[in-house]
Amino acid sequence: MSNTIPVTIDFSGGAEFLVKAKAQKVQIPADSTLRDVLKFVRDNLVTDVNRINMLLNDDASEVAHGVITLINDTDTGLLSEYDTVIEAGDTITFVSTLHGG
C-alpha cells in the first residue's frame, strides 16, 4: 500500500507569484491534514522566501492573514479548518486577498 497520495495544490489571487507554478500535482503523505500541507508547501513549493509571510505564518502552522484556503472549492472554515484530513485526489487552493502592487 502506498504511503503517499496524489493531490493538486492551486494558488490564486497573487499567491501564485510566491511559488513554482500556479497549479501543481504533488504526492503528500497519506492521512495528512491541512496543517501538514502548509508545511509541505513551505518546504517544497515556495520560491519567493522573502515574501513567504504573504502566504504562511512564521512556523507554517497557519496561513497568513488574508489568505483563504479551499479544499475542493469549499471554504475550510466550513470543514474542520486546519485539522481537515486530505484525501487522494483533493484539490487544495490558496487564494490571497493581499495584493502586491
Look-up of cell digits 489568505: 67
Q: What's the maximum distance between 2 C-alpha atoms anywhere in the chain? A: 47
Strand partners, 71: 74, 92
Torsion on CA atoms 88, 91, 92, 98, rounded to nearest 10? 170
33 counts as binding other proteins under rule CB under 8 A: no
- Looking at the Cβ atoms of 20 and 65, the one nearer to other proteins is 65
At closest approach, how far in Å is the CB of 65 from other proteins?
Answer: 5
100 counts as binding other proteins under rule CB under 8 A: yes
**Residues in contact with other proteins by the rule CB under 8 A:** 12-14, 17, 50-51, 53-54, 65-66, 68, 72-75, 77-80, 84, 87-91, 93, 95-97, 99-101
